[in-house]
């Protein structure tokens, strides 16, 4: 991945990661803590987390291409280092989303029905809920840190702190 419609692919693909990782994290925590939500989300939960997972290395590869085409800068290097750490979080989101989906589909819709795994068992829900919350928070915080460092790298000297254009737009 290099360019999309003349723009560096990274600056476009990053939006996919910035939307899908937090969305996957929110869906995971909701489904892990609320079994009815897990059943309602169904296959959408692991599919969403999988698309988020796949978007991370695509965005990272596009970012590495872009890094080779901009001036060497400490802020860019910091952003690249942070970006390399997102894949394990995205993988964790996907694995836990698959577990929650699988367990949710095996659980009976109503207590006392069926012979599937007892997803509603409190200890299982607590463990999965704690892991899901920890991975979700870690992933979202990492996306924030990466995005913040990327914005600083891209914009640190690229604008004037004082307005340079006309202040009155009623002309």
Q: What is the pLDDT of residue 65?
A: 93
- Residue with the bigger pLDDT between 17 and 160: it is 17
Looking at per-residue pLDDT, the higher value among 40 and 158 belongs to 40
Half-sphere exposure of 88 (CA within 13 A, CB side): 6
Mean pLDDT (whole number) for 80-89: 96
Considering the chain, what is the average pLDDT of its residues?
Answer: 88
**What average pLDDT does this structure show over 135-145?**
98
Across the range 71-90, mean pLDDT stands at 94
Which pLDDT score, from 0 to 100, does residue 55 have?
A: 98
Contact 129, 32 (CB under 8 A): yes
Of 27, 50, 20, nearest to 104 by C-alpha is: 27
Beta strands in 81-130 (DSSP E): none
């Amino acid at each position: 991945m290099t360019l999309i419609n003349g723009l560096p692919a990274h600056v476009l693909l990053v939006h996919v990661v910035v939307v899908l990782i937090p969305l996957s994290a929110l869906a995971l925590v909701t489904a892990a803590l609320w079994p009815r939500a897990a059943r309602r989300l169904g296959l959408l939960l692991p599919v969403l987390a999988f698309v988020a997972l796949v978007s991370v290395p695509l965005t990272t590869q596009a970012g590495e291409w872009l890094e080779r085409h901009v001036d060497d800068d400490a802020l860019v290097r910091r952003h690249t280092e942070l970006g390399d750490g997102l894949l394990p979080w995205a993988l964790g989101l996907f694995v836990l989303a698959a577990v929650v989906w699988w367990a949710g589909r095996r659980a009976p819709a109503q207590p006392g029905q069926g012979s599937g795994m007892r997803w509603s068992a409190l200890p299982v829900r607590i463990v999965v809920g704690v892991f899901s919350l920890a991975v979700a928070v870690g992933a979202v915080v990492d996306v924030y840190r990466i995005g913040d460092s990327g914005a600083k790298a891209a914009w640190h000297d690229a604008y004037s702190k004082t307005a340079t254009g006309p202040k009155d737009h009623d002309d």
